[in-house]
Structure 1
């Protein structure tokens, strides 16, 4: 489950030899280096590991070249609009999306959102989410109490060398959280983190 099922059973070409995340990272860094955009605060990696399947089944996209292209484009999703556009394109080209593909799209967006707010790792197991921060994060630390107050007991800050947050997803003993709710809760939380970015404050 989780990151282990990101690609499914079959991979191809260069991506197979280096792994999906590393392959996309190499591409992105090469482009940024060429453009002279690779700066210090962008040199950290962001890893997202969620307790759900997230891959493109070979039964959904049979052509490996097409699948590789779609994986690459999914990895570039940065906004909700881009996610919706990709959902619509996949629906038009390949038919109804399996749940694992929809999970993959949402995880790609969450990974991008995490990276934009200096989160190096998001680990979700059941109702518990751990978010590890980049030590040099340009966040308004003085606004942390306001954020923590908003979420009450659901969000706790652990001030270690690499500070991290513990976030508790809504808990309903009678019903397991569905993935759509999990994604929305995480997106809302990350939007609140975005408000802490120093460069966005007026």
Structure 2
């Protein structure tokens, strides 16, 4: 415990045989990177990036806003500000388009590193733009804008745009879920052509036509352990859709 000139310390311990989740690793990295006095705000902003925003005006950091994440938060905030400026109080009560109803949960670090975009307000602005990108073209335009201003894009930022592409593609093709759980990719609702089912079945995949739900082991993508799946999954979804969205 810190007292006056005595520095405080914290030790985090976990079993060697238990793998940390990506979110836990990101939180520990944030604490490790911000150890100097007065770093509380930076840690809080990094936590916001990791798990999504909590209550906008109150002290509560859980509930509906945390559940839907940063996407809906950014869209609702933008809509509320616009409605207030235009003097339309009723417009602020409506919900934005349902991009936030799409769940994309694929392994890989997806954030804007502080060393890449040092200014907190600028990072939040970029997150808002990316979260609001409803089409593949929107994502491409935002990425090119960022590259023009900050050419040396790190892997985590590239992954963030790759994830945004998957989400935009899902939005354009009316998919609600593109997620990896237990070593399997789950996509729904999705139509799988018969000619695509042979390699899917060989890889141990299953398709429930009545639910339009596809479950496919991630080994199907033949990527190295630790590699992000965003690009491979997007290419796969394009194949299922007959190459649409390229």
TM-score of the superposed pair, with normalisation by structure 2: 0.55
Whole-Å separation in 1 of the counterparts to 2:99 and 2:118:
35
Whole-Å separation in 1 of the counterparts to 2:129 and 2:208:
35
2:75–2:132 Cα contact (<8 Å) kept: no
User: What residue in structure 1 maps to residue 230 of structure 2?
Assistant: 183
Segments of structure 2 that go 5 or more residues without pairing to the other structure are 1-20, 31-42, 56-64, 83-90
Q: How does 1:137-148 map to 2 (within 5 A)?
A: 144-148=193-197
Segments of structure 1 that go 5 or more residues without pairing to the other structure are 134-138, 198-202
Render the CA deviation track for 1:29-57: whole Å, top value 9, x for unaligned. Answer: 889xx7xxx9xx96981111111211122
Q: Secondary structure at the match of 2:193?
A: helix
Q: 2:178 aligns with which of 122, 135, 142?
A: 122
Whole-Å separation in 1 of the counterparts to 2:137 and 2:98:
23
Whole-Å separation in 1 of the counterparts to 2:72 and 2:100:
13
Whole-Å separation in 1 of the counterparts to 2:237 and 2:129:
22
Larger radius of gyration: 2
2:75–2:128 Cα contact (<8 Å) kept: no
CA shift for structure 1 position 64? 2.1
1:3–1:50 Cα contact (<8 Å) kept: no
Q: How does 1:1-202 map to 2 (within 5 A)?
A: 1=21, 9-11=43-45, 15-17=53-55, 18=65, 19-26=69-76, 45-78=101-134, 80-125=136-181, 128-133=184-189, 144-149=193-198, 151-154=200-203, 155-159=205-209, 162-168=211-217, 169-171=220-222, 175-176=224-225, 178-179=227-228, 182-195=229-242
Whole-Å separation in 1 of the counterparts to 2:123 and 2:152:
16
Q: Secondary structure at the match of 1:146?
A: helix
Whole-Å separation in 2 of the counterparts to 1:95 and 1:194:
32
Find runs of 4+ consecutive structure 1 residues off by over 6 angstroms. Answer: 28-31
What is the RMSD computed on CA atoms of the aligned residues?
4.1
Render the CA deviation track for 1:125-146: whole Å, top value 9, x for unaligned. Answer: 585311132xxxxx7x6x6323
Looking at both structures, which has the greater relative contact order when contacts are Cα pairs under 8 Å and sequence separation is at least 6? 1
CA shift for structure 1 position 70? 0.3
